[in-house]
Structure 1
Amino acid sequence: MSDEIRAFKMQLKPGVVAEYKKRHDELWPELAEALRGAGIHDYSIFLDESTLSLFAVLKLKPGYPIDDLPTLPVMRRWWDYMAPLMEVEPDNKPRQWDLPSVFHFAG
């Protein structure tokens, strides 16, 4: 089985780009461990500065419990910590818009 690739958009609020980057530069070790435990082994977030849209791409190892990640206390704390900076759902989960793949080159 090969890795699964997921891509999605999120939305920052105005004036928080530096703080968003700072918080990710200081990612909590226990959150990094939870991400690895969920099978995420490659995760990048890109910013469109003109719209404050975030574009995320992550690679998942097959057979890992990614669907359990939102139930973990460390994930819930991270969402609460990040909620002032982003558009979020009522439970503080970042609003996400899944992006379908339209092209992939693996040369």
Structure 2
Amino acid sequence: METIAFRMTLKSGMGPEYERRHHEIWPELANALRAAGIHDYWIFLDEASGALFATLKRDTAHSMDQLPSLPIMRKWWDYMADLMDTQADHSPVVTPLAPMFHLP
């Protein structure tokens, strides 16, 4: 299992709506994430900057790279596009974060 982290950016004032939508995550999307080998997925917000910090664990044989081709993933991106910085296809602008320290 591997842990990865990345950063996204939330538009100003959108924290409550972003949180609400994630509390109501569609079961089909949650199932797709799990089927891709994703576990223990967390997203945190730095309210001062709007930075979203995400961590997740993924199986060695994960299929995360296939998620963008799934209709449910694309539908979720469209649904979330008004709340955050996105690419032209509505996928979130994601900045990978390098691991610097781990206390097991």
Following superposition of structure 1 onto structure 2, how do residues 76-91 of structure 1 map, counting pairs within 5 Å? Answer: 76-91=74-89
Aligned counterpart, 1:103: 101
Structure 1 unmatched ranges of 5 or more: none
Partners of 1:61 and 1:82 in 2: CA distance: 26
Q: CA deviation at 1:64?
A: 2.1
TM-score of the two chains, using structure 2 as the length reference: 0.98
Mapping of residues 67-78 of structure 1, within 5 Å: 67-78=65-76
Structure 2 stretches of 5 or more lacking a match?
none
Q: Which residue of 15, 24, 38 maps to 1:17?
A: 15
Q: Which residue of 1 aligns with 2:37?
A: 39
Q: CA RMSD in A?
A: 0.6
> Aligned letter for 1:24?
H
Separation (CA, whole Å) in 1 of partners of 2:103 and 2:25: 30
Q: Which of 31, 52, 55 in structure 2 is aligned with 1:54?
A: 52
Aligned residues between the structures: 104
Query: How far apart are residue 99 of structure 1 and its match?
Result: 0.4
Q: Alignment identity in percent? A: 54
TM (norm. structure 1) is: 0.95
